[in-house]
Amino acid sequence: MHYFQDRGFQHPVSSEITPRSAYLNRRAWLQSLAVGGAALSGWAGRDAMAQTARPNKLAALPGVRSTVAGAMVMDKPTAYGDVASYNNFYEFGTDKADPARNAGSLKPRPWTVAVEGEVKKPGAWDLDALLKLAPMEERIYRLRCVEGWSMVVPWVGWSLAELIKRVEPTGNAKYVQFITLADRAQMPGLRSGVLDWPYAEGLRMDEAMHPLTMMAFGLYGEVLPNQNGAPVRLVVPWKYGFKSGKSIVKIRFVEKQPATSWETAAAQEYGFYSNVNPKVDHPRWSQATERRIGEDGVFAKKRPTLMFNGYEPQVGQMYAGMDLKRYF
């Protein structure tokens, strides 16, 4: 097993903590978890219903079919049972199955998200106020993780731009920082030294304002399972999954590029932008291909990874003229 040494502690790489073979061997056990569910049935591509079939595991949270360009990919959604049982959420453990096992301790209500910094209207947003801030939409996004696996997830929520417009950023707001919950009483993974807590991420303002950037409150027509970032998380579909912070408690508007958790842990491996780019390898593995969860046969052919995770027509213009190997 490989470990980082540059921060004075042994840092396990999540792709090496749970080998794919080990995950496959315990699929039967995972399916017995309460969060398990059946695969989406009756998927009919472009003729699919506006609302994805519910697994009937948690409270309903329906959304109308989104009309945002690129928001409804035609890939078959990943089975709910896989989405809810194969996760990176280090606050609950570094093994892919740890969040599903341990996240029952998370209390998603009451919940408040503080908005601070370079805005004219700072304040605290109660979860119920956020749920009513804009009409809920269903969006089917690809999710690509830096370790080489991917999913297709039907999210429920609205564009982050809806909140940004209401808090009225000042001219000094160049970046948006996201801070997630760090409560040792609820999150056993915080006892580890894997990262500096709380988990922090950030976006450039134009990235945050892009209509595809989403505040998600649900998936598969229901509220988010705890292990998927309840009660509110970020989803940025053209970036690697670790950019999409879970269980957000604070949003800060700042003038200078904010530090992010993975940059702090290993700047040589995790850059600020973290756009999906098959031409830029991770220092220890290729990013040219990916394994779609649910298509896991031992001899299954990997998929080629798409530039910007397939969202290049919608987002590529934001990076025109940038050296994407330097700003990785």
CB 113 within 8 Å of CB 217: no
pLDDT reported for residue 41: 34
Three-class HEC string of 27-87: HHHHCCCCCCCCCCCCCCHHHCCCCCCCCCCCCECCCEECCCCCCECCCCCCCHHHHCCCC
Q: What is the dihedral of CA 199, 205, 207, 213, to 10 degrees?
A: 70
What was the pLDDT predicted at 291?
94
pLDDT, tens digit (0-9, with 9 covering 90-100), for 31-87 = 433 333 333 333 334 334 446 899 999 999 999 999 999 999 999 999 999 999 999
Average pLDDT of every residue of the chain: 88
What residues contact 202, with CB distance under 8 A and at least 6 apart?
A: 175, 176, 177, 178, 257, 258, 259, 260, 272
Which pTM was predicted?
0.86
Question: What's the pLDDT tens digit per position in 211-226?
Answer: 999 999 999 999 999 9
The one-character DSSP state at 272 is S
What whole-number distance in Å separates Cα of residue 156 and Cα of residue 88? 20
Report the residue count for the chain.
Answer: 328
Q: What is the pLDDT of residue 173?
A: 98
Sort 139 into a burial class: Cβ within 10 Å, 0-12 / 13-18 / 19+: buried
Report how far residue 297's alpha carbon sits from residue 293's, in angstroms, rounded to the nearest whole number. Answer: 10
In the chain, which residues have pLDDT < 70? 1-51, 296-298
Question: What are the phi and psi torsion angles at 254 (to 5°)?
Answer: -135, 165
How far apart CA 31 and CA 105 sit, in angstroms, is 20
Cβ-contact 215, 157 below 8 angstroms? yes
Q: What is the CATH number of domain 3-319?
A: 3.90.420.10
Four-residue CA torsion sign, 159, 164, 165, 171: negative
- Token pair for 306: 């798409």
Domain boundaries, the chain: 3-319
* pLDDT at residue 298, as a whole number: 63
Which neighbouring-strand residues pair with 215?
158, 234
253, containing H or E segment: strand 248-254
How many Å apart are CA 218 and CA 204, to the nearest integer? 25
